[in-house]
A = this chain, B = another copy of it.
């Protein structure tokens, strides 16, 4: 019962097959190979635009190379106070940007609003060297609580960004899951809504190791090939990334994988909603669900082999707090999650509750 993260899964069969197929004979190194070129072509098709892209091995590298391309070392990157880029990537953003400020801000846990961003920026320092001026905003899609921003929410946020001359970065480690939830086009969810740069993660959704930094404005990408090389993220056998991305996009494989993962999360949520003593504090949009459960039950589940992380109490909905006899945990489903896995989890709970009644 692996619900700790979608990166506990292997690669999907079609993605793996593509790696195997690409592993034949000689090619040029460093991305000058047909697999990489075809993956880039696929990306342009999928996003319906010209773009610059760098393939890299991790989401942290993708996020931070994007930010390092968008801001100067004396500027500030805004993000939600509980965002992954702030909480879970060490000080990688500071490292890659040469020491720019990372500034979390939040009205409350959950999605940020254009209104709150507007009011925050009204008090954010003048254009003097003393103040580290805000130069970019980073939002996650899906976000750190599994919530999905609609194209119109993103448009509203990007309008505030443009007004204050901020670049808009999207951390799309689970972009496919957001897309599968929304049923809109990748273009509508990114550049058409005002996103300047996207970190597109395939690893959590069926790839083995494949992330991309996508710049919708080529000007923003000027320094990026140097930044990637000096960060050690230019791999020599580029076909590894090229093959994965090409296969991921082929026949909408990525969206099928994401839809499956989301569907499992929905199923799990529905089953959990029927259980006394388990609360689901956030809506389940994509493939993450957060639950509050009795500590003893949580410990029992762990003992039975269920894997999941306790989550930051600061990310509970406003006004909600965690009593000491409860746990607040995150469950993540993936393309590899089956109904059997979910059923087993639910069954474990039922067994525990039954035993407790005795």
Contact = CB atoms under 8 A, between A and B. Distances in A.
Interface of A: 2, 4-5, 7-11, 16, 19-20, 22-29, 56-62, 64-65, 72-76, 87-92, 94-96, 98-104, 123, 125, 129-132, 203-204, 208-209, 223, 225-237, 239-240, 307, 312-314, 336
Given A10-B25, A60-B234, A103-B104, 10 more contacts: A19-B208, A20-B20, A60-B232, A61-B232, A75-B91, A90-B130, A129-B225, A129-B228, A204-B236, A209-B235
A193 B58 CA distance: 35
A213 to B, nearest CB: 11
Contact of A29 (B5, B20, B95, B102): B5
Nearest to A228: B129
A232 B223 CA distance: 18
A234 B72 contact: no
B7 A237 contact: yes
Contacts of A56: 232
14 contacts: A11-B237, A16-B20, A26-B336, A57-B57, A57-B233, A58-B232, A59-B236, A74-B227, A87-B130, A90-B226, A99-B99, A129-B234, A203-B237, A204-B236
Contact of A91 (B62, B73, B239): B73
B129 A226 contact: yes
A312 B7 contact: no
A132 B84 CA distance: 12
A95 B226 contact: no
Contacts of A95: 73, 99, 230-231
How many protomers of this protein does the assembly include?
A: 4
A259 B101 CA distance: 37
Contacts of A230: 73-74, 89-92, 95, 99, 129
A229 B129 contact: yes
A87 B11 contact: no
Nearest to A101: B91
B90 A94 contact: no
Contacts of A235: 57-58, 203, 209
Nearest to A56: B232
Contacts of A62: 232
Given A20-B20, A231-B95, A90 B64 contact: no
A128 to B, nearest CB: 9
A101 B92 contact: no
A73 B72 CA distance: 12
A29 B4 contact: yes
